[in-house]
């Protein structure tokens, strides 16, 4: 069988960190995908995975451009690694469409790629639906492959949390089992958000910058987040019953010491699945 990925560039790297995000599951409001795109920009292509081996094109169809009646170009779902440099640090960004097939093979290939490129740390980023209001600062939940990788003020869930797994988690667990330290940062997105939620994207990028001690430009993201906030507030003003619900979320959120339990997170993810059943 053909290799799952093609290594395009073998440029020497200095202690690179790999940041990974897949779209779809664990990407509420597309916040993590947007963060990965902002981080990677037009960075140098390092590796690309073979879409023919990973995707069901009937459920994730390529996009066809038709120009003046002529079939012009196909854009296929992709999973790629790009290299960027921030504050003199080599960062690798693995991002794209969550694979439909061969998750364990993708995990093995990602580990091989990490070892070939000398990756010293893996960071997963994602976003999860949660019963939180958009009127409060966006929260984060963090994970670590071993104690001591996270800072003391980074919140972790307590107890058992059992949820449907994402391909990203399968890959991370394979990488961390090899000894590469791994962390994860997941922004909490209000579960009533139906479109983009740039506030969560900003929180993820800020946390990456703090964790890695690098400066990551946000460009116009702050303005986008402000515009989205205005639209949400206007929507609530026209819907008293929704405003009342958000006020209840605000009251719960104002407990500064509250970190969502495993049961709370599982309930919100179950709600998210039920709302998107068949999607």
Residue 33: closest CA among 88, 98, 112: 98
For 168, which DSSP code?
Answer: H
Per-residue pLDDT of the chain (279 residues; tens, 9 = 90+): 789 999 999 889 999 999 999 998 899 999 999 999 999 999 999 999 999 999 999 999 999 999 999 999 999 999 999 999 988 899 999 999 999 999 999 999 999 999 999 999 999 999 999 889 998 999 999 999 999 898 777 777 778 888 889 999 999 999 999 999 999 999 999 988 888 999 999 999 999 999 999 999 998 999 999 999 999 888 888 887 777 888 888 887 776 555 555 556 555 555 555 555 543
CB-hemisphere CA count at 13 Å for 71?
A: 5
Element housing 233 (H / E): helix 221-237
CATH H-level superfamily of 5-275: PAC-like subunit (3.40.50.10900)
Q: What is the pLDDT of residue 125?
A: 98
Say what the pTM is: 0.87
Query: Do 59 and 101 contact (CB within 8 A), yes or no?
Result: no
Q: What is the pLDDT of residue 218?
A: 92
Query: Do 85 and 16 contact (CB within 8 A), yes or no?
Result: no
Angle among Cα 224, 271, 167 to the nearest 5 degrees reads: 75
Residue 143: closest CA among 176, 102, 111: 176
How far is 186 from 28, CA to CA, in rounded Å? 10
Query: Do 78 and 2 contact (CB within 8 A), yes or no?
Result: no
Q: What is the pLDDT of residue 253?
A: 76
Q: What is the pLDDT of residue 251?
A: 83
For 161, which DSSP code?
Answer: -
């Amino acid at each position: 069988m053909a290799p799952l990925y093609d290594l395009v560039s073998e440029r020497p790297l200095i202690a690179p960190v790999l940041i990974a995000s897949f779209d779809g599951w664990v990407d509420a409001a597309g916040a993590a995908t947007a963060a990965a795109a902002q981080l990677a920009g037009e960075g140098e292509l390092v590796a690309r995975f073979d879409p023919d081996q990973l995707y069901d094109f009937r459920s994730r169809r390529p996009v066809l451009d038709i120009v003046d009646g002529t079939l012009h170009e196909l854009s296929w779902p992709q999973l790629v690694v790009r290299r960027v440099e921030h504050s003199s640090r080599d960062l690798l960004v693995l991002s794209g469409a969550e694979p439909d097939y061969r998750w364990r093979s993708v995990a093995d290939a990602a580990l091989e790629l990490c070892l070939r490129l000398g990756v010293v740390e893996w960071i997963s980023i994602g976003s999860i639906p949660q019963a939180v209001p958009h009127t409060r600062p966006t929260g984060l939940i963090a994970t670590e492959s071993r104690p001591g990788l996270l800072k003391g003020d980074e919140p972790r869930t307590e107890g058992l949390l059992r949820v449907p797994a994402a391909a990203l988690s399968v890959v991370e667990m394979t990488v961390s089992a090899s000894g590469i330290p791994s962390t994860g940062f997941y922004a909490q997105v209000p579960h009533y958000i139906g479109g983009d939620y740039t506030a969560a994207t900003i929180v993820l990028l800020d946390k990456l910058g703090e964790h890695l001690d690098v400066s990551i430009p946000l460009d116009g993201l702050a303005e986008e987040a402000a515009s989205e906030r205005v639209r949400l507030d206007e929507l609530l003003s026209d819907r008293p019953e929704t405003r009342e619900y958000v006020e209840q979320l605000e009251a719960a959120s104002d407990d500064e010491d509250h970190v969502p339990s495993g049961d709370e997170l599982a309930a919100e993810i179950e709600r998210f699945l039920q709302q998107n059943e068949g999607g």
